[in-house]
Structure formats: C-alpha cells, structure tokens
Amino acid sequence: MGLLIVLSGPAGVGKGTVCTALRGRMPEIVYSVSATTRQPRQGEIDGVNYFFKSREQFQAMIANDALLEHAEYVGNYYGTPRDFVDKTLASGKDVILEIEVQGALKVKEKFPEAIFIFLLPPSLDELKQRITGRGTESQDTINTRMNVAVEEMNLLQHYDYAVMNDEIDAACDRIRSIIVAEHCRRERFVPYVSGLKTAIEKA
C-alpha cells in the first residue's frame, strides 16, 4: 500500500505552490485533484487544478458517497473523490492530498494511518499579504479568511508534523524528509521480515 499524505493549512499559506514544487522533486507521488464549487481562478484548468462542479453536481456526489471527505468553506464546497484515492493507494503509489483543514480532519477519521502535515505561514502579516496579493478576494472575504486562519492554526495538535512555509524550496525539503522517514518506519517492514522468516523455515 502507498502512503496517503495530507498537506493542509490555512488559505493563502501556499499549499498549492508547495505541492506543485514537491511534485516536481518527487514525480512518483500522485496528486489527488479535489472537487470544488468555487469559480476557477485565472489560469486554473478543470481536471488539473480542481474538478469544478455546480452545487447540484457536488451534492449528488455527497449523496452517492463518492467523496472521501468534503467541507464547506467560505461559501463553497470542497471534497476529495474517493475512488481515485483508494485505487492509487492499492497500487502501491503514494497519494498527496492538498486540502483545507476541515477536510483534513475528516480524512483523519477514516484514514488515521495517513500522514498529516500542517503548513504554517511565517507570520500573520505575510499570510494576509499572500491572500491580498491574489487580487481575487473582496475585503470582507480577506477578513473572513484571516479569522478562519487563526482558528485553523489552533487545530495543529491534530497533525503529525508542522512545516513552516518561509521559503518554498526549504518547505519542500522538509516535507520530502518526512515522507522518506515515514517509508522507513519499522512497522512498515514487518511483513517483509515475516516473509524472510517464512522463506528460511521452508528452505
């Protein structure tokens, strides 16, 4: 089985940027594209950045239990299609989810064995600058996102690791180190050692 890696953190912290850079360094990791009801931002492509759905389409996915998790955030739905994740993990490949905090906590209920990484901003001022710099948010939305960000950072204790996104390359190095270390956990080698023991006994 592959590892399910959940990269989460407040809006504007740079999850998408870090995830894209990480995939460039570790192309073997499979990115799970989320579904959302929010409107595409400039340059975003359906099926690549997100699966863009109407509220009616998304609600149908919820009703059919077709999502690993879903949450409503600042007036829009976000969710992770279940089937793709299950099949990819079963094939032995690692899957990385880049999702909001609410969604990450729901995944933790169903996949407690997943690796949960919280991406932190270097400061609240920097976080606000990143959100404002998008040029896509109203002042009311910016204020809402900042208030939500503070609440979300208080949920850090539910995660396995915290990574500061002060510089993209450094953040990627830290996350890559976490993934490599997780693959080396001793319990993941128990089946291998058991197989060696069985082979010796049969020899």
pLDDT, tens digit (0-9, with 9 covering 90-100), for 131-162: 776 666 778 888 888 888 888 899 999 999 99
CB 95 within 8 A of CB 85: yes
The runs of H, that is alpha helices, within the chain are: 15-25, 55-63, 82-90, 101-110, 124-133, 139-153, 168-183, 190-202
Predicted pLDDT of residue 135 = 63
Q: Domains in the chain and their CATH numbers? A: 4-202 (3.40.50.300)
- Tell me the one-letter amino acid at 42: Q
Of the listed ranges 70-79, 88-97, 108-117, 163-172, the least confidently predicted one is 70-79
Of residues 54, 56, 51, 47, the one with CA closest to residue 79: 51
CB 179 within 8 A of CB 26: yes
Token code pair at residue 145: 């996102």
> pTM for this structure?
0.80
Predicted pLDDT of residue 134 = 64
CB 13 within 8 A of CB 164: no
Of the listed ranges 31-40, 69-78, 94-103, 131-140, the least confidently predicted one is 131-140
Predicted pLDDT of residue 97 = 93
pLDDT, tens digit (0-9, with 9 covering 90-100), for 158-202: 999 999 999 999 999 999 999 999 999 998 888 888 888 787 877
Predicted pLDDT of residue 5 = 96
Higher local confidence (pLDDT), 19 or 74: 19
DSSP string for residues in 84-115: HHHHHHHTT--EEEEE-HHHHHHHHHH-TTSE
